[in-house]
Structure 1
Amino acid sequence: MSKKEFTFGIIKPDVTVKGLDEVNKVVADINASGLEVVSVVHRFLDRGEAESFYAEHNAKPWFGDLIDYMVREPVALMLIGGANAVQNYRDLCGPTDPSDAAEGTLRAKYGTSRDENAVHSSDSVASAQRELHFFFPEFQIK
């Protein structure tokens, strides 16, 4: 039997700008995959918060564009649970570039480009714990 885990996800501005119905479609797809969206918080990220969250990328040439993108519209921050949630959610998201993503993945369905790719997923259990603590500090991972 697989161990229940928790992971973190973001529905990004290229989806949220299309409205709540589009956000709800992404949440429904996650839930239909066997994972459970436990909590969703809709809000704007401020620039400092986005820079801090994505600090590991601050030396990349595209860092400024990433931050501008993440603060331009509200996002949906998600706490996601389920068996092997970190890897299963990453698989559901698909590759960063939607044109490389398999049919049925979130990025293939909702992403518009490599830079505007619909969703964020934690890349490891350690990252999931850090990212969940960043946005859901009240949630205690057991």
Structure 2
Amino acid sequence: MYEQHDFPNVDVGDAAAELEALDAAFLPHAAPLVPPANPGFQLPRRLWLSMLACYGVFFGAIAIATGGSGAARFAIVISVLYTFVFFGVARIGARQAGPEARSPLDRGQALSTWTGPMESRTVFAQVLIVPVVLALFAIGIAIICALSA
């Protein structure tokens, strides 16, 4: 079962030299040191403020729509706290890397994304669509509650 196999003598010196030449040709070379950049979220401050304002309108309209219910107010306060935690943790995490570069949208340039550059209007539309719809939804509920009372 365990037979002895005799393999022909092969000169590995040439093969080793060929492998080293291939490694030198295909392995990446060391890049020069470049100081790290912190592009951050690359969204302008006014976009973040608009998003927070939409959530403020949402919570305010829901508070008006639910009236003086203690349980509803408690749930709204908890939701507001969760929203502060969500945005607060993102802000704390973003500040860990140091000051962010100014947004390309503030400089009049397009925002680079994985799918290509995006103009300011497109970025605002994509980021604000959900908060705006939530705010309009809550305003609609508040109007319906006011008209039905």
TM-score category of the 2 structures, normalised to the smaller one: under 0.3
Greater fraction of residues in strand: 1
TM-score normalised by length of structure 1: 0.23
Higher Cα radius of gyration: 2
Greater fraction of residues in helix: 2
TM-score normalised by length of structure 2: 0.23
